[in-house]
Amino acid sequence: MKDTERSTFEKNITALAEIYGVEISHERMAGYWELLKDLSFSSFSYAVRIAGQSCKFFPVPAEIRIYAKDYRPPQDLSKMLGEGSGVLMPGEVKRKLERFYKKQMV
């Protein structure tokens, strides 16, 4: 994460702590930052959401890291499906419709 994302990071940890009824000291927050700042913000926020849904107790940084490893960034649907998948992408639909209507006009 970038230093500019630290305040949002702290808000996420604070919200998670609220859910579990845990108070976060300044020192504890600084420790979480030091141990998790190498994660991307997307993987961190994903991990916090999963931890909130899965952990019985307030998660330690190691647990958050485990959940962060499962994060997969969303991909462009056309890249995931690839050509020949049988699924038409928006541009293909438009081209097919244009061809269809040109044939109808002739």
Q: What is the residue extent of each domain of the chain?
A: 3-69
Q: How far is CA 69 from the centre of its chain?
A: 11
In this prediction, residue 93 carries a pLDDT of 67
Each residue's pLDDT tens digit, 5-39: 999 999 999 999 999 999 999 999 999 999 999 99
Look at residue 57 and tell me whether its pLDDT is greater than 80.
yes
Main-chain dihedrals φ then ψ at residue 40, nearest 5 degrees? -75, 155
Helix (H, G, I), strand (E, B) or coil at 70: coil
CA atoms of 61 and 69, how far apart (whole Å):
13
In this prediction, residue 73 carries a pLDDT of 79
40 confidence band (pLDDT: 50, 70, 90): very high
- Predicted structure pTM score: 0.69
In this prediction, residue 30 carries a pLDDT of 98
